[in-house]
Chain A
Amino acid sequence: MVTVVHPNLEDTNAKMSARDVSVFYGDKKAIDDVSIDIPTKYVTAFIGPSGCGKSTFLRTLNRMNDTIPSARVEGEITLDGEDIYRSKMDVVQLRARVGMVFQKPNPFPKSIYDNVAYGPKIHGLVGSKSEIDEVVEKSLRRAGLWMEVKDRLEDSGTALSGGQQQRLCIARAIAVDPEVILMDEPCSALDPIATAKIEELIDELSGRYAIVIVTHSMQQAARVSQRTAFFHLGKMVEYGRTSDIFTNPLEKRTQDYITGRYG
């Protein structure tokens, strides 16, 4: 079965494209023949029941699957038209351009300042202390965390609240000025207020970056995304504008899922 793509999806320029991508864990196929274009300056949401392969597919986009020995990727994924799985691709460069925020906030056990400065330092983006200061402040401001932490930059990142930690992780990710940001259920460990803050942040960031977010919350997908892809059993069932998917799903399985008759 092929993916149903909504016909009125106007042709935005794709930042990343996947063509016939399958992912295996050992012999087990976790993603089956997925093709999708991820537009720049939009938020794309991946939804679907647990275990359908959303995280797996998301991780292929910055090759985090490389860290799982049994994982194998087939098909083609491009970033600005370049195949990211070609042998000459520098994974370090790729991950600097395609950043990632995880489900559970995972700040390093370092100071808030060092957490944000980590990426710019390892990629040699900054030289002098004042340059680093500038990047740290800019990133924390953009992540909406600056006002809360500007007087305690030397405190450990792990001493922040869960919501603050997650915004710190977002600040850390945007500090290297990526082109794409992947977020795997970034709000699932947060309360509604912290969630609202992150959603607001995603909204603000979407003007600059291509953002892909995995979420289990239909409301969240509806609120923050402009594109939605519905996954089921390793396949991408339906893809289109968020408004179309939620008001006028073409597939019965999609409809069942978003109306809550499912998983």
Chain B
Amino acid sequence: MSPAILLVLALGLGLAGWLAARARAWTFRRDSANGRIAALPVYHAWYVALWIVVPVLLFVGLWSVIAPQLISQSVLASPAASDLPAFGFQRDAILSEARSVASGSAKAVFNEAANGLVEPYRAAISRYNLIGVLATLIIAFLAGAWAFLRIKPDFTARTRVEKAVMTILLLASLVAILTTLGIVVSLVFETIRFFGMVSPLDFLFGTQWGPDPMSNPNSPDGSRYGAIPLFWGTIYIGAVIAMIVAIPLGLMSAIYLTQYANPTLRKWIKPALEVLAGVPTVVYGYFAALTVAPAIRDAAFAVGITNASSESALAAGLVMGVMIIPFVSSMADDSIAAVPQAMRDGSLAMGATTSETIRKVLVPAALPGIVAGVMLAVSRAIGETMIVVMAAGAAANLTGNPLEAMTTVTFQIVAMLTGEGSFDHPATLSAFALGFVLFMVTLGLNFIALRVVKRFREAYE
């Protein structure tokens, strides 16, 4: 509650500073000889407002971290805390119960022992709230006054405000990058730990997968950590079966949409395809597990294949292929549409038919873009998790038979992390090694694809 109040306070003070600075800049303008000052009044206003809001926000952020600690310390120092159990879980429970009653989020205590602590908590909370508000006001006032005194007719407020805005934008973009970096670093860290227990050679080239989370973590059996069946399953489902579905269908729909469909139809089909890309993958997972997989098994029975599994690489791959169609088609659509109309006219004027023009001029010209689209689609397919979790099965089979169950890297990451092993067991840690490999492969694919697309774009500019 109190950080929210402080936030509102910060914004209010900022607004006040904004108005005051603008009024002052107006007077500069009125008094100046030619009605001109170094920056428009509104920039002076923003300059002061930023000087108020930014320090206050920094303080509020800091305060919301340290205030609860200060509060608990002062409560623990109070006489009522003396008969608390010394340490541990019970003591924490009592404290948190008292805190929630004091702050109003619970009505009454369950544990009698907490009763005596409610009052000290209440007192501490209101005391520190007051301190927080006062400190906020003081900071806002000091920073605001300093900024306010700096604004003069010849003060270059605009360049300073622009610099501040640029910095804020930079920080915003850094958040995503730094988070990704953090993820990578932690991934690398855990992967190194894993490879300290299991040899990378066993992991990368072994053909048996079956980590036992209940085994002795200190002497893992390297021969059970061979990830080849997982890599194979991932590639077979995501890059082979799914692409056999997605490439032709995606390409054909792109060709139809760019070359044959009349504009009204295109207006409807293109967004419909894009909606397909927004369907949550778990929904595709249902469809794969409940509809497609049984249908494939029944079909296999019907033609006399009796050992078909009810979970199959084929079911997962087919549905994944359908899921990927929009990616392929929208990239192909963009690249075909980016081939200049002059190219198409040139071919038609030679007496080529529309289909000759598409096959011999447009698709070859758009090929780099199409290939890049396929690579992005593959990278998405091999990272896809829900469909394989629900439809591909858990068996690490190294087989080429699409009717058998197979497992993938993503499936095993989920299985290992949600398994029964403790967190530092090599079986659990193997999830990080798998994630690392997956990350590197998709990163590589995306990197190459984006470079190809960029080169292609340049070629037509």
> Do the two chains belong together in a single complex?
yes
With A118-B360, A122-B360 already in contact, the answer to whether A108 and B352 are too (CB < 8 A) is no
Against B, the Cβ 8 Å flags (1 = close, 0 = not) of A86-123 are 00000111111001101010111110000000110011
A residues within 8 A CB of B262? 69
Q: How far is the CA of A102 from the CA of B349 in the complex (A)?
A: 10
Against A, the Cβ 8 Å flags (1 = close, 0 = not) of B349-367 are 1111100100011001100
The answer to whether B351 touches A169, judged by C-beta atoms less than 8 angstroms apart, is no
Closest to A66 in B: B348
Q: How far is the CA of A87 from the CA of B344 in the complex (A)?
A: 24
The answer to whether B360 touches A106, judged by C-beta atoms less than 8 angstroms apart, is no
With A108-B361, A110-B364, A122-B360 already in contact, the answer to whether A173 and B345 are too (CB < 8 A) is no
- Residues of chain B in range 331-379 having any CB-CB distance to chain A below 8 Å: 340, 342-353, 356, 360-361, 364-365
Against A, the Cβ 8 Å flags (1 = close, 0 = not) of B253-264 are 000000000100
With A106-B340, A106-B345 already in contact, the answer to whether A119 and B350 are too (CB < 8 A) is yes
Number of interface residues of B (CB under 8 A): 20
Closest to B368 in A: A109
For residue B459, CB closer than 8 A to chain A, the reply is yes
Min CB–CB distance A60 → chain B (angstroms): 13
Q: How far is the CA of A169 from the CA of B350 in the complex (A)?
A: 10
- Residues of chain A in range 159-176 having any CB-CB distance to chain B below 8 Å: 169, 172-173, 176
Q: How far is the CA of A187 from the CA of B125 in the complex (A)?
A: 83
Q: How far is the CA of A152 from the CA of B340 in the complex (A)?
A: 25
The answer to whether B350 touches A99, judged by C-beta atoms less than 8 angstroms apart, is yes
The answer to whether A106 touches B346, judged by C-beta atoms less than 8 angstroms apart, is yes
Total cross-chain contacts (CB, 8 A) = 65
Per DSSP, are chain B's interface residues mostly helix, strand or loop, or mixed?
Answer: helix
Min CB–CB distance A101 → chain B (angstroms): 8
With A92-B353, A122-B360 already in contact, the answer to whether A108 and B348 are too (CB < 8 A) is no
The answer to whether A64 touches B348, judged by C-beta atoms less than 8 angstroms apart, is yes
A residues within 8 A CB of B459? 109, 158
The answer to whether A92 touches B346, judged by C-beta atoms less than 8 angstroms apart, is no
B residues within 8 A CB of A110? 364
The answer to whether B345 touches A122, judged by C-beta atoms less than 8 angstroms apart, is no
For residue A62, CB closer than 8 A to chain B, the reply is yes
The residue that B343 contacts in the complex, of A64, A67, A91, A108, with Cβ under 8 A, is: A108
Closest to B339 in A: A109
Min CB–CB distance A249 → chain B (angstroms): 32
The answer to whether A109 touches B346, judged by C-beta atoms less than 8 angstroms apart, is no
With A102-B342, A106-B340, A110-B364 already in contact, the answer to whether A172 and B350 are too (CB < 8 A) is yes
Q: How far is the CA of A72 from the CA of B365 in the complex (A)?
A: 30
A residues within 8 A CB of B348? 64, 67, 95
With A108-B365, A109-B459, A122-B360 already in contact, the answer to whether A102 and B345 are too (CB < 8 A) is yes
The answer to whether B345 touches A96, judged by C-beta atoms less than 8 angstroms apart, is no
Number of interface residues of A (CB under 8 A): 28
With A67-B345, A106-B340 already in contact, the answer to whether A95 and B364 are too (CB < 8 A) is no
The answer to whether B342 touches A109, judged by C-beta atoms less than 8 angstroms apart, is no
The answer to whether A123 touches B351, judged by C-beta atoms less than 8 angstroms apart, is yes
Closest to A115 in B: B346
The answer to whether B349 touches A64, judged by C-beta atoms less than 8 angstroms apart, is yes
A residues within 8 A CB of B361? 108
Q: How far is the CA of A69 from the CA of B347 in the complex (A)?
A: 18
Closest to A94 in B: B351
Min CB–CB distance A91 → chain B (angstroms): 8
The residue that B349 contacts in the complex, of A95, A107, A158, with Cβ under 8 A, is: A95
The residue that A108 contacts in the complex, of B346, B351, B353, with Cβ under 8 A, is: B346
B residues within 8 A CB of A69? 262
With A108-B361, A110-B364 already in contact, the answer to whether A100 and B352 are too (CB < 8 A) is no
The answer to whether B351 touches A93, judged by C-beta atoms less than 8 angstroms apart, is yes
Min CB–CB distance A245 → chain B (angstroms): 28
Closest to B361 in A: A108
Against A, the Cβ 8 Å flags (1 = close, 0 = not) of B223-240 are 000000000000000000
The answer to whether B349 touches A118, judged by C-beta atoms less than 8 angstroms apart, is no
Min CB–CB distance A164 → chain B (angstroms): 16
The answer to whether A109 touches B356, judged by C-beta atoms less than 8 angstroms apart, is no
Which one of A62, A109, A173 has the greatest number of beta carbons of chain B within 10 Å?
A109
A residues within 8 A CB of B345? 64, 67, 102, 106
The answer to whether A106 touches B342, judged by C-beta atoms less than 8 angstroms apart, is yes
With A109-B364, A122-B360 already in contact, the answer to whether A95 and B343 are too (CB < 8 A) is no
Q: How far is the CA of A118 from the CA of B364 in the complex (A)?
A: 13
B residues within 8 A CB of A95? 348-351
The answer to whether A104 touches B360, judged by C-beta atoms less than 8 angstroms apart, is no
Q: How far is the CA of A91 from the CA of B343 in the complex (A)?
A: 18
B residues within 8 A CB of A158? 459
The answer to whether B351 touches A173, judged by C-beta atoms less than 8 angstroms apart, is no
B residues within 8 A CB of A176? 350-351
A residues within 8 A CB of B351? 91-96, 119, 122-123, 176
The answer to whether A108 touches B349, judged by C-beta atoms less than 8 angstroms apart, is no
Q: How far is the CA of A94 from the CA of B340 in the complex (A)?
A: 24
Q: How far is the CA of A122 from the CA of B348 in the complex (A)?
A: 11
10 A-B contact pairs sorted by A residue (CB < 8 Å): A91-B351, A93-B351, A102-B345, A108-B346, A109-B343, A109-B365, A109-B459, A110-B364, A119-B350, A122-B352
3 tightest A-B CB contacts, nearest first: A95-B351, A106-B342, A96-B351
Besides the known contacts A64-B349, A67-B348, 6 further A-B residue pairs in the complex with CB atoms under 8 A apart: A69-B262, A91-B351, A96-B350, A118-B347, A118-B350, A173-B349
